[in-house]
Amino acid sequence: MSFTRRSFLAAAAPLALSAAAPKGGAGDRRPLFIVAALAPLDRTRRIDEGLTKEYLAYLRDNGVDGVLVNGSTGEFASFSTEERKRNLEVFLKHKGSLAMMCQVGSSNQPEALELTRHAQGAGADQLLLLPPFYFSQPSDDGLAAFMEPILDASELPVLLYNIPQLSGVQITLGLVRKLSGHPRLFGVKDSWGKLDNTLGYIHEKADLHVFTGASAQIQVVLEAGGAGALTGNGNVFPAETAAIVKAFRERGDVAAAQKKLDERAAILKGYAAAESQKACLEAKGLGRMYVRPPFVDLTDAQRADLKEKMRAVGALS
pLDDT at 29: 55
How many independent structural domains does the chain possess? 1
Domain around 32: 5-252
With a CB cutoff of 8 Å and minimum separation 6, the contacts of 207 are 16, 19
- The band of 15, judged by pLDDT with boundaries at 50, 70 and 90, is very low
What separation in angstroms does the CA of 4 have from each of 7, 99, 114?
Answer: 5, 6, 22
Q: What is the CATH number of the domain that holds 183?
A: 3.20.20.70
In terms of Cβ atoms closer than 10 Å to its own Cβ (0-12, 13-18, 19+), residue 194 is middle
* Alpha-carbon gap, residue 241 to 146, rounded angstroms: 34
* Alpha-carbon gap, residue 291 to 296, rounded angstroms: 6
Within a domain: 314? no
Sign of CA dihedral 105, 3, 154, 121: positive
Within a domain: 304? no
Mean pLDDT in residue range 7-18: 42
Q: What are the pLDDT digits (tens) for 136-164?
A: 899 999 999 999 999 999 999 999 999 99
Residue 79 near residue 89, CB atoms below 8 Å? no
Q: What are the pLDDT digits (tens) for 177-191?
A: 999 999 999 999 999
Q: What are the pLDDT digits (tens) for 54-93?
A: 999 999 999 999 999 999 999 999 999 999 999 999 999 9
32 half-sphere exposure, CB direction, 13 A CA radius: 29
Residue 235 or 317, more confident: 235
Task: Tell me what the pLDDT averaged over the chain comes to.
Answer: 92
* Alpha-carbon gap, residue 80 to 143, rounded angstroms: 23
Within a domain: 137? yes
Kindly report the pTM of this predicted structure: 0.91
The end-to-end CA distance of the chain, in Å, is: 25
Residue 99 bridge partners (DSSP): 66
Within a domain: 257? no
Map residue 100 onto helix, strand or coil. strand
Within a domain: 309? no
* Alpha-carbon gap, residue 17 to 15, rounded angstroms: 5
pLDDT at 206: 83
Residue 88 near residue 122, CB atoms below 8 Å? yes
* Closest of 227, 181, 204, 229 to residue 12, by C-alpha: 227
Within a domain: 157? yes
Q: What are the pLDDT digits (tens) for 239-294?
A: 999 999 999 999 999 999 999 999 999 999 999 899 999 999 999 999 999 999 99
Residue 241 near residue 19, CB atoms below 8 Å? no
Within a domain: 277? no
Q: What are the pLDDT digits (tens) for 104-125?
A: 999 999 999 999 999 999 999 9
Window from 27-31, 87-91, 97-101, 262-266 with minimum mean pLDDT: 27-31
Question: Is residue 205's pLDDT more than 80?
Answer: yes
* Closest of 142, 210, 152 to residue 181, by C-alpha: 152
Map residue 73 onto helix, strand or coil. coil
pLDDT at 272: 87
Question: Is residue 314's pLDDT more than 60?
Answer: yes
Residue 107 near residue 133, CB atoms below 8 Å? yes
What separation in angstroms does the CA of 246 have from each of 20, 207, 300?
Answer: 21, 22, 36
